[in-house]
Structure formats: C-alpha cells, structure tokens
Amino acid sequence: MKFNAEAIKLGDNINTDFIISGRYKFAITDMKELAKHIMEDIDPAFPSKIKPGVSVIVAGSNFGMGSSREQAPLVIRESGIVAVLAKSFARIFYRNGFNIGLPLIEADTSGIDEKDSLSIDLDAGILRNLTKNSESGIKPFPAFMQTLLGEGGLVNYYKRHGGFRV
C-alpha cells in the first residue's frame, strides 16, 4: 500500500475526547454529522484543514489515549483523513483503528510540519517528506494487517469472507 498525503500536525497525548468531544457521544449518532466536530475542542478550524482522501494526521506520542469508544477512529475515517502517523498509539485505539481499516503508522514525526507533503510506502516501510526532501523508516505492517487494511478492516474482512483466512 502506497499513497501521498498532506500533514495536519497535532501534539502529544491526543485523547479520544479531543478527537470527538464526549458531549456528542449520545447526541449525534450519524458518523458524517459527527465528523463535522472532529478535534473542535483543540482546534475549531480543524475540519476546514481536511482534504478528503489526502490528509493525514501527524501527531506525537500516545495518540488515542482515553476511552475505548470506537467513535474516535470512525470519525477520523469518516472525515476523509486517510491515516494517522504518530510516535506511539494507545493500545485500544490502535486495535479499534485497524478493526475499521484506518492505517495507524508508527513513525518519528518530529521532522514533519503542518502541510508537509508526504509519501508513505507501507510495503517498503518508508516515509518520505517530499517538502523537506527527507526519508525515514516506519514500523512495517505484517502482511495479514495489510490484507485487513486492503479489505477496509477486520470487520469488513470478516463480513466478506465469513471468517479468517489471512
């Protein structure tokens, strides 16, 4: 899996209530509507920065900490963001992200700035910052995880194949 993207930069310890405020967890159930409120508590302009199918979130350590609500990765995917790059992820968020087919990529994000143009090659484990003409490694995904991402996540894989044959 290879793709080009543009960075939307965030910091460390982005919790699930920052991703989608807890005040919406029962008030709005439609994911498209909920996605309009992504990150609004830390950056009210965040939704306007998203270029659907192109934008990636670039964050620091411990992205997705907090509750185990699947709304957080679902809202990220629904907003049009294609992946999240971070130095590290909260374990349950990482699992929820892959369950729904959202690529969560562990990388050194310290050299990436807002709006940097990136090239991400999950097969080769390479992250290129095209803006800064630099390259670094990313933690590669095992083949079965790439298969799951290609199918849109664990849930979709199971629905399509009626079991696990990876």
Name the more confident of 109 and 141: 109
Q: Which residues pair with 128 in a beta bridge?
A: 119, 135
pLDDT at 166 over 60: no
pTM for the whole structure: 0.92
Position 23 scores a pLDDT of 84
pLDDT at 148 over 90: no
Residue 140 burial class via C-beta count within 10 angstroms: exposed 0-12, middle 13-18, buried 19 and up: middle
- CA 83/CA 101 separation, integer angstroms: 9
Name the more confident of 160 and 22: 160
The structure tokens 């390479």 sit at 126
The answer to whether 122 touches 95, Cβ cutoff 8 Å, is: no
Position 164 scores a pLDDT of 63
User: Per-residue pLDDT tens for 42-100?
Assistant: 999 999 999 999 999 999 999 999 888 788 999 999 999 999 999 999 999 999 998 99
Write the DSSP assignment of the chain as a string of letters. Answer: -EEEEEEEE--S--BHHHHS-GGGTTT---HHHHHTTTTTTT-TTHHHH--TTTEEEE--SSBTBS---THHHHHHHHTT--EEEES-B-HHHHHHHHHTT--EEEB--TT--TT-EEEEETTTTEEEETTTTEEEEBPPPPHHHHHHHHTTSHHHHHHHHSS---
∠ CA(12), CA(17), CA(19), 5° rounding? 65
The answer to whether 123 touches 141, Cβ cutoff 8 Å, is: no
Position 92 scores a pLDDT of 94
Position 68 scores a pLDDT of 80
CATH number for the domain whose boundaries are 2-141 = 3.20.19.10
Domain ranges of the chain: 2-141
Nearest one of 152, 114, 155 to 132, comparing CA atoms: 114
User: Per-residue pLDDT tens for 100-127?
Assistant: 999 999 999 999 999 999 999 988 899 9
The answer to whether 143 touches 24, Cβ cutoff 8 Å, is: no
User: Per-residue pLDDT tens for 150-165?
Assistant: 899 888 888 888 876 6
The answer to whether 98 touches 153, Cβ cutoff 8 Å, is: yes
